[in-house]
Structure 1
Amino acid sequence: MPKRAPERVMRVVLTRELIVHTAVDLVEREGAKALSMRAVGAELGVTAMAMYNHVPNKEALVRGIAEYVMGTLDLPEPKPDGWRAGARELAHAFRRTADEYPRCMALVVVNKTALPVGLRVIERALDLCAAAGLTGVEPVRVVRALMAYTLGSQLREAGLKRILREKEGDLTDELRHLEAAGFPHMAVHPAETAEHDPDASFDFGLELFLSAVEMRARRAD
C-alpha cells in the first residue's frame, strides 16, 4: 500500500502590520473587551507567544491599533479663513475616522497607552482653540467636549440605525397621534422627528458647539 504524502501545513507569516490589522478587525467585530494577545493569536492560528517578537504585550497592541486608526485621519491644514472653518474640518475628519472604526476609536480615546499617538490631533485642536481666543484650561476642556460630542453622535447614529431597521411600519404615522397622548411638541413635525439624517444632525450640533465656543471666547475678552 503506497504511503500517503504528508499534508502541507500553511503557516502564516507574522508581521506587526498583520497582527495589528487582525486586532483592529477583532475589536470592530466583537468590541474592546474581546481584545487580548491570545484572542488575536487565535484569529491568526498561532499562539500568543509566537507574536511576542512583533508585538510584546497588549499595551503594544493597543498602541498599534491607535497608530493604525489615527493614521487614517486626514489632519487638515490651517485655514486662512479663520479658526471656525478649521475646527469644522477637523471635526468632520475625526467623525469620518470614528464612523469607519467606531469601536477602535472608542478604545483609543480612553486608553493612556494610545495618548501619545493622538498628540498631533490634540495639538491641532488646541491651536484652533487658541485662535478662537480661549485661554487657560478652557481649550483642553473644549477639545474633550468636542471629542465626546463627535463620538457620542456616532454611537447614537449606530443605535438609531438599528432601531429603524427593526421598526416595522411607518414611524411618522405613529408620531402624528402623539398630541392626543400628551406630547404636542413632538406631534408638530412628525416627519422631521421620524427621519434619520445623521449628517444634518451632526452639522447642526457642531455649529451650536462652535457658536458656544465663540461666545465663551468673547466673554473672556
Structure 2
Amino acid sequence: MAEKPAGRVERRPLTRELIVRTSIALIERDGAKALSMRKIAAELGVGVMSLYNHVPNKDALLAAVAESVLAELDVPDADPDRDWKLNARAMAAAFQATARRHPRSMYLALTSRAGQLSGWRTAERALALFDAAGFDGATSVRALRALMSYVIGAQVLEGGALRMSERLPGEPAEPQINIDLAEIPRVVELADELVRLDPEADFECGLEMLLSALDRLPRATP
C-alpha cells in the first residue's frame, strides 16, 4: 500500500454540515460578531469562494447555525395522557442542556432574525404542549414566555451574572468593600447559602416553583 507523503494533512470533504459545525465552534470561541466567511475558510483550510458552493451568504449561514442549534432542543410531543409538567420539565431540561453546549450560538438563535423560523417551530411545539394540558391560548403564550424567561435567566446566572462574592462584605480578604453589616442582617444570616453554588439544585427548585404556580391556573380538562 502506498504511503501518504510525510506532513500531508488529509482534508475532510467540504460540506454544508461541516461549515455549520465549524461556524458554531468559532462563535463559541470568538463570539458571533467575530464570525466571517474568511475566518471560517481559514479554519477549514479552504478558499473563501468554496464556501459559497454550500451556503449562498453569511445571513444564510447564520440561519443554518440557528436551525442546527435549535434542532437539538428535544421538545417532547404533546401527550394529553401524560402529566403536562413532565413534558414541561423535559422541554426546560433540553433547553438548558443545549444552552450549556452552545451558549453563544443559542443566544444568537434566540435574539437574531437568523433564528426566527426555527424559533417559531420550537414555540409551536411548546404551545401544543400547553394546549394539550388544557390552557387557553392567552395563558399558553404567557406560560411559554414565563418558562423561557426562567430557563434563559437561569442560564445567565449560571454563566456568572449576578454571582455573589465567595466572602462576606467587610471580611479581611475584601477590604475594598466598605459596608456596615448591620444594614444587611439577612445577608449575614444566610451568608453560607448565598455563597454556596449548586446550579442543578437551584434550577430544579426554581422550575418546580414555576410549574407548581402554573398548575394552579384555570384550564380545561384535557
| Cα distance, 1:213 vs structure 2 | 2.3
Aligned to 2:3: none
The number of equivalent residue pairs is 206
Aligned to 1:171: 167
Contact 1:179 1:187 (C-alpha < 8 Å) held by counterparts: no
Q: Runs of 5+ in structure 2 lacking a partner?
A: 1-6, 172-178
Query: What is the RMSD of the two structures over their aligned residues, measured on CA atoms?
Result: 3.0
Structure 1 position 146 matched with structure 2 position 181: no
Aligned to 2:92: 91
Query: Greater relative contact order: 1 or 2 (C-alpha under 8 angstroms, separation 6 or more)?
Result: 2
Task: Describe the superposition over 1:66-97 as per-residue Cα deviations: whole angstroms up to 9, x where unpaired.
Answer: 23222323233445332112111111111111
Contact 1:24 1:104 (C-alpha < 8 Å) held by counterparts: yes
Change (3 A) 1:76 1:9: closer
Return the alpha-carbon distance in structure 2 between the equivalents of residues 76 and 181 of structure 1.
50
Normalization by structure 2: what TM-score? Answer: 0.78
| Cα distance, 1:19 vs structure 2 | 0.7
Normalization by structure 1: what TM-score? Answer: 0.78
**Amino acid in the other structure paired with 2:50:** A
Contact 1:66 1:108 (C-alpha < 8 Å) held by counterparts: yes
Contact 2:55 2:61 (C-alpha < 8 Å) held by counterparts: yes
| Cα distance, 1:131 vs structure 2 | 3.1
Superposed, 1:1-221 pairs within 5 Å as 13-79=13-79, 80-159=81-160, 171=167, 180-217=181-218
**Amino acid in the other structure paired with 2:167:** L
Residues 60-69 or 111-120, more deviating: 111-120
Return the alpha-carbon distance in structure 2 between the equivalents of residues 126 and 21 of structure 1.
29
| Cα distance, 1:106 vs structure 2 | 0.8
Change (3 A) 1:78 1:136: closer
Aligned to 1:3: none
| Cα distance, 1:23 vs structure 2 | 0.2
Return the alpha-carbon distance in structure 1 between the equivalents of residues 218 and 57 of structure 2.
44
**Amino acid in the other structure paired with 2:43:** E
Contact 1:132 1:214 (C-alpha < 8 Å) held by counterparts: no
| Cα distance, 1:57 vs structure 2 | 0.9
Return the alpha-carbon distance in structure 1 between the equivalents of residues 193 and 170 of structure 2.
13
Identity level (%):
44
Contact 1:134 1:217 (C-alpha < 8 Å) held by counterparts: yes
| Cα distance, 1:139 vs structure 2 | 2.0
Structure 2 residue matching 1:217: 3-state secondary structure:
coil
Higher helix share: 1
Task: Describe the superposition over 1:116-151 as per-residue Cα deviations: whole angstroms up to 9, x where unpaired.
Answer: 234443222102222343323332233233223212
Task: Describe the superposition over 1:37-59 as per-residue Cα deviations: whole angstroms up to 9, x where unpaired.
Answer: 23322322334322001011112
Structure 1 residue matching 2:67: 3-state secondary structure:
helix
